[in-house]
Chains A and B, each alone.
Chain A
Amino acid sequence: MKKSFKLFLAAAVLVTEFFVVALPLMITSAKADGHPIQAITHAGFGGGTDVTTRMMLLRTRRYLKQDMQLVNKKGGGGAASMDYMMTLPADGQHTLTWTTGHAVSMALGKTKVKLSDMQPLARGTDDPQLFVVNCKNDIKDAKKFISAQKSKSLKYGTTHVGGIDDVSAIAFTKKGKLTDPTIVPYKGVGPIKTNLIKGDIDVGVLNLGEAVTEIEDGTLCVSVVLASNRMEKLSNVPTATELGIPVVLSTVRGFVTRKGVPADRKKQLEDAMIKAMEHKYFQSFLTDIGLDSTSVVGADEWGKQMEVMLAEMTAQLKALGYIN
């Protein structure tokens, strides 16, 4: 074998080993001492939950002076991620991103994990549900929206079913004593917007960040906001409560850890997260998706909201017939 070929072979082995060893290590960013904190999520790459978690990690790992590794455990609408967390020791070396979807999974009984098995740390985003319509449609005016749904069924585009989106549509309809909606589930928000613009559906149940481009260019309009107060960016849009229909629902993402984590460690995690989410990086991320600094709250408020969310989702899913 010639020397040049031997050299080439050695280089080829090195390059391959880079893929085999170095790259996976870069992906997991594991620390040499072997103790990164696991930040568990249930979400796909690039989605709202994934991005929120990554934005939180940016500074938290710096404040904790410890690396944090994103661990993706998909399945069961968050059930797999909660089950996975329960397999870890309660040593404060993990966090879980808990969302409205987890509340739904718990309500549906997809996991044996209970709220009492977790300790809240902090909330990252509180994104109100919006009813978005085509600006060419008369129902962009909230009052006309309600009177239209009194006389006929409106077609609501939602992301999946059995989640916060169709719960929003049904709760609004029931409490407003309106005609039952026709729910058209989609796998993502893209086709909801296209179908709204084409006029195939009447309403899209979306968050502001999901339609901010079309809202700003005047293609889509927000008719109703399901928040307790008007949103800063949508100051001319009434809330459902203002219209006499008391429905307040939002897509919420926060962080928890296992029960049993020592109090001082839990406090350390909470403080670092709050500080990280008060940093300009996270704050500008919130602004980009149409939210503000009120999204970020500490463990006490977040814990209470988790309980309310679970109770609310259980009640709504019962009303919808998903559970007995």
Chain B
Amino acid sequence: MDNLLLMMAPLFSSKLLLVLLFGTLFGLILGVLPGLGPTTGGALILPFTMTLDPLSAIVLLTSIYCAGTYGGAITAVLINTPGTPAAAATCLDGYPLAQKGEAGRALGMATVSSTVGGIFSVVILVFFAPILAKLAYEFGQPEYFALAIFGLTMLASIGEGSPIKNLIAAAFGILISTIGKDFMTSIDRFTYGINELSVGIGFIPVVVGLFAISEMLTQSTLLHQVFKRVALKAVKLPSKEDYKKTWKTILRSSGIGSFIGVLPAEGGTVASLIGYSEAKRFSKNPEEFGKGSIEGIAGAEAANNAATGGAMVPTLALGIPGSATTAVILTGLIIHGVRPGPDLFREQPDFLYGIFGAMLIANILFFIFGFFGAKIFARITLVPNKILWPMIFTVSVCGTYSLSQSILDVWIMLFFGVLGFFMRRFGFSVVPVIIGLILGELVEGTLRQSLVIFDGNWLIFFTRPIVVTFFILSFIALIFPLLKKKK
């Protein structure tokens, strides 16, 4: 009951409601714009969240995440271009259905299934919270070390990029995390006498550079792209027949999405593809898939939005991001002085349930905005890249500079922007760099702390049950892609 009241807190705070409204609208706009999406948008707005209190900041980022994930479906249906990678599977049936003159029906189903999937996953999140809270005191430094190793090995099986490339990118992230004053010895590392570097490379310049600037450079190569839009009169709520046809698919995909979201380093893109293929497998009319199947839309959309809540579980409970956007949210938590982990569930339940409540409300809000405003949001795709991306560049520079009034941060952002552009060009995902940067510090620090605490006894890593469990999971995560390849 107490937790329910804590969840409802955002409803009673005009400030949080305003943040939620803004976040949902902003997320929808970002989701609609191909190339932007909640990850880039979250990275862009991250510096500006510093003016907010931690709860408002994270509520803003999570509402952008929820609404942005749904927003991708609008362009997927109307212009056959997924606004976000997670909406790629929605194109397969959404656009064909729109071409048949049923764009309103397709968007209606996408809106309803996204909302159901999103709400379902928040319920899962609430269910997991008390269990994780009990684990808080079981996590000492050896457990955190094993957990960080597990998070890094999960990169081998992440959806985007090859396992080897992901691990190389993560290793690079870890290398960057060693820049700055070593907190164990107080010695500066790789700072070359620059005092500003002694606090390490800031997360925000790296995140903004890797996501926003590299995407801008990528988009600059696509200036010739012209989108053809299917006409939309109004979004229609699904008919009784459509509900009858899809309710099992929606529930199944919600479960699949929540589960895949929980897996560290997976996310909405993988969830929607699996949700879609499972919908096809269980369908009575699999031949309709790819030609405008309403079940196909429901399967993909329920799954990708369910992954949002699921992905927040490892992010909040373990400090391991469940997706690219949650990597940005994790950065937000860290810069606001919130240390994710089991302790968070014990120490700040009001903060956590506030986030859960906000996610629930964001799902309802994007349903309303999506239902009544899809037609307007669809027009956003007409903003030419030549206007949109220079604006984003200006916001990136201002945002990064304003944090510490440091021009060095701007240079770091630009460096990582160019680096991210080339990484993408050569088939590397930029997400592992962020995860490496975040977890690198944890891996190094907890290993050394554990050895100091236990007098250099390495056997400690093989005598604590949680540590051993994570090591076994890490081993499975490493060999899983190899086994999959052999098959």
Name the distance in Å between A202's Cβ and chain B's nearest Cβ.
10
Binds A, one of B3-11, B136-144, B355-363: B136-144
Closest residue of chain A to B197 (Cβ to Cβ) is: A75
1/0 per residue, CB under 8 A from B, across A127-157: the answer is 0000000000000000000000000000100
Within 8 A of B (CB), among A147-205: 155, 160-163, 182-188, 190-191, 194-195, 197-198, 200-201
Contact B379 A195 (CB under 8 A): no
Contact A74 B137 (CB under 8 A): no
Binds A, one of B104-112, B156-164, B331-339, B425-433: B331-339
Question: How far is it, in angstroms, between the C-alpha of A190 and the C-alpha of B445 when the chains are bound?
Answer: 14
CB contact under 8 A between A200 and B337, given known A9-B383, A71-B405: no
B198 at the interface (CB under 8 A from A): yes
Number of CB contacts from chain A to chain B under 8 A? 123
A83 at the interface (CB under 8 A from B): yes
Binds B, one of A18-26, A229-237, A256-264, A283-291: A18-26
Residues of B within 8 A of A319 (CB): none
1/0 per residue, CB under 8 A from B, across A247-274: the answer is 0000000000000000000000000000
Residues of A within 8 A of B136 (CB): 194
A103 at the interface (CB under 8 A from B): no
1/0 per residue, CB under 8 A from A, across B387-404: the answer is 100010011001100111
Interface size class, chain B: 35 or more
Question: How far is it, in angstroms, between the C-alpha of A16 and the C-alpha of B394 when the chains are bound?
Answer: 9
Per a CB cutoff under 8 Å, which of A13, A185, A213 touches B184?
Answer: A185
A79 at the interface (CB under 8 A from B): yes
A44 at the interface (CB under 8 A from B): yes
User: Known pairs A47-B337, A161-B185. 7 more at Cβ < 8 A?
Assistant: A28-B402, A72-B404, A73-B404, A74-B196, A75-B198, A161-B186, A194-B140
A32 at the interface (CB under 8 A from B): no
Question: How far is it, in angstroms, between the C-alpha of A320 and the C-alpha of B155 when the chains are bound?
Answer: 42
Closest residue of chain B to A20 (Cβ to Cβ) is: B394
Contact A198 B405 (CB under 8 A): no
Residues of B within 8 A of A19 (CB): 48, 395, 398-399
Residues of A within 8 A of B194 (CB): 75
Name the distance in Å between A37's Cβ and chain B's nearest Cβ.
15
Per a CB cutoff under 8 Å, which of A5, A76, A163, A197 touches B198?
Answer: A76
Name the distance in Å between B34's Cβ and chain A's nearest Cβ.
16
Main secondary structure of the interface of B (DSSP, over half): helix
Closest residue of chain A to B143 (Cβ to Cβ) is: A198
Per a CB cutoff under 8 Å, which of A46, A47, A188 touches B54?
Answer: A46
Contact A77 B198 (CB under 8 A): yes
Contact A182 B50 (CB under 8 A): no
1/0 per residue, CB under 8 A from B, across A1-13: the answer is 0001100110011
Closest residue of chain A to B334 (Cβ to Cβ) is: A44
Closest residue of chain B to A194 (Cβ to Cβ) is: B343
Give 9 nearest A-B pairs by CB, closest first: A162-B186, A76-B195, A46-B337, A75-B195, A80-B195, A75-B196, A16-B391, A74-B199, A200-B140
Residues of B within 8 A of A161 (CB): 183-186
* A residues apposed to B, CB below 8 Å: 4-5, 8-9, 12-13, 16, 19-20, 23-24, 26-28, 44-47, 71-77, 79-80, 83, 110-111, 155, 160-163, 182-188, 190-191, 194-195, 197-198, 200-201, 213, 322
Contact A27 B141 (CB under 8 A): no
* B residues apposed to A, CB below 8 Å: 48, 50-51, 54, 136-141, 144, 181, 183-186, 194-199, 335-337, 339, 343, 347, 376, 379-380, 382-383, 387, 391, 394-395, 398-399, 402-406, 441, 445, 449, 452-453
Closest residue of chain B to A17 (Cβ to Cβ) is: B391
Question: How far is it, in angstroms, between the C-alpha of A46 and the C-alpha of B337 when the chains are bound?
Answer: 6
CB contact under 8 A between A75 and B379, given known A20-B391, A23-B48, A185-B184: no
Name the distance in Å between B130's Cβ and chain A's nearest Cβ.
18
Contact B449 A185 (CB under 8 A): yes
Contact B336 A45 (CB under 8 A): yes
10 interchain pairs, CB-CB under 8 A: A8-B376, A9-B383, A24-B399, A46-B336, A74-B199, A75-B195, A155-B453, A161-B186, A194-B137, A197-B137
Contact A45 B196 (CB under 8 A): no
The listed residue with most A CB atoms (<10 A of its CB), out of B137, B195, B347, B383, is: B195
Closest residue of chain A to B337 (Cβ to Cβ) is: A46
Contact B339 A198 (CB under 8 A): no
Residues of A within 8 A of B343 (CB): 190, 194
Question: How far is it, in angstroms, between the C-alpha of A184 and the C-alpha of B450 when the chains are bound?
Answer: 9
Residues of A within 8 A of B449 (CB): 184-186
